Amino acid sequence: MSRLALNPESHFVNRIGWLRAAVLGANDGILSTASLIIGVAAAAATQNEVLIAGVAGLVAGAMSMAAGEYVSVSSQSDTERADFARERQELSENPEFELDELANIYVKRGVDRDVARQVAQQLMAKDALTAHARDELGISEITTARPVQAALTSALSFSVGAAMPFCSWQSYRPPVRLSRSWRLRPWAFSLFWERAGQGPAAPAFCAPRPE
């Protein structure tokens, strides 16, 4: 058994599909819901009124983010399918040209022309459409659009982010609440970014906010 089989590598790029939607949803949930709660609380509303407004904002925002992500990522998916259909037609009508095209791609990457043609022939013999999608169109399993995944991730992360301002609502005193709501934002967002993306926490998000 090979060493790679015993120690399979796990790369963070595999998280691209859902991480973008998660960060966008969480940040939007924190900002929009905190702003809504602050605005309603500033109007001298009761605790119940603030709670109802916050819950309404959370539900509406989660649904809006899910619908928006689904529509936007679906447009990417439709474009990919259109390119697949076009490439499939070109492969059936002019396979020799497509073989030369794929070989030239490898030549431009530094492979010897004879070797590049052999590689192209072997890849096209196994799965010509996948080979052209990956090397000609830049579409792979990692980058393939997943509308449902993006929609669910965005809705869930928005809900989690929107729930954070409610932590300060429990002890409702307008001056304190405003401070605590916004104090939760940078630390929570930075922690999520660091854990999910395995990158350093952004200093701008970690800096304490004035009360």
Please report the beta strands in 107-199, taking only residues with DSSP state E, as ranges in sequence order: none
Q: What is the pLDDT of residue 205?
A: 40
Average pLDDT (118-127) is: 87
Q: What is the pLDDT of residue 193?
A: 53
- For the chain, the average pLDDT equals 76
Note the pLDDT tens digit of each residue in 67-106.
988 998 888 888 888 888 888 888 888 888 888 888 888 9
**pLDDT band at 8, cuts 50/70/90?**
low
27 has pLDDT over 60? yes
Note the pLDDT tens digit of each residue in 131-167.
888 888 887 777 777 888 888 999 999 998 888 877 6
Q: Does residue 145 contact residue 80 with C-beta atoms inside 8 Å?
A: yes
- Rounded alpha-carbon distances, angstroms, from residue 65 to 14, 22, 54: 22, 10, 16
Q: What is the pLDDT of residue 67?
A: 92
47 has pLDDT over 50? yes
Q: What is the 3 state secondary structure string of 157-180?
A: HHHHHHHHHHHHHCCCCHHHHHHH
What gap in Å lies between CA 10 and CA 121, rounded to an integer? Answer: 30
4 has pLDDT over 60? no
Q: What is the pLDDT of residue 137?
A: 81
Q: What is the pLDDT of residue 1?
A: 44
Position with higher pLDDT, 174 vs 47: 47
Average pLDDT (7-15) is: 63
- In which element (H, E) is residue 186 found? helix 174-197
**pLDDT band at 31, cuts 50/70/90?**
confident
Lowest mean pLDDT among 18-22, 23-27, 32-36, 202-206: 202-206
